[in-house]
Amino acid sequence: MNGHLDKIYPLKLEEKGFLTSYFGGFPQTHPGLNWTKNSFWVGNMDHTYAIGYYPSDFKLAVYLQNRFSSEIEDVYFPFPEVFNVVIGEERNSIGTIILQFKLKR
């Protein structure tokens, strides 16, 4: 990777065998490049990469944060807000969740 993270998007991951074509990634020229036909999001975020899904809810955000806590830098829910399990008004929120992962070195 020469000190940088290559641009990733769902179709590229499908073509390299990391995702099945079930996800339905779009070509690089499509305005929804980082989205799939069934509402998943994959892409670069700052110095790392992230995955997301819409629609998501509070319970899924808590589950994913707990499940991947050692592998994620941040959880955004509802995106673009940084997820905070303590804030009560988010409990009824529906929105996009984004998990920003740590890079393994």
Is the pLDDT at 2 greater than 60, yes or no?
A: no
Structure tokens at 3: 């000190």
Which one has a higher pLDDT value, 47 or 1? 47
Mean per-residue pLDDT of the chain: 89
Mean per-residue pLDDT, 21-42: 94
φ and ψ of 80, to 5 deg: -100, 10
CA pair distance 43, 51, nearest whole angstrom: 7
Which one has a higher pLDDT value, 10 or 46? 10
pTM for the whole structure: 0.85
* Residue 47 banded pLDDT, cuts 50, 70, 90: confident
Structure tokens at 14: 């499908």
H-run or E-run covering 51 = strand 48-57
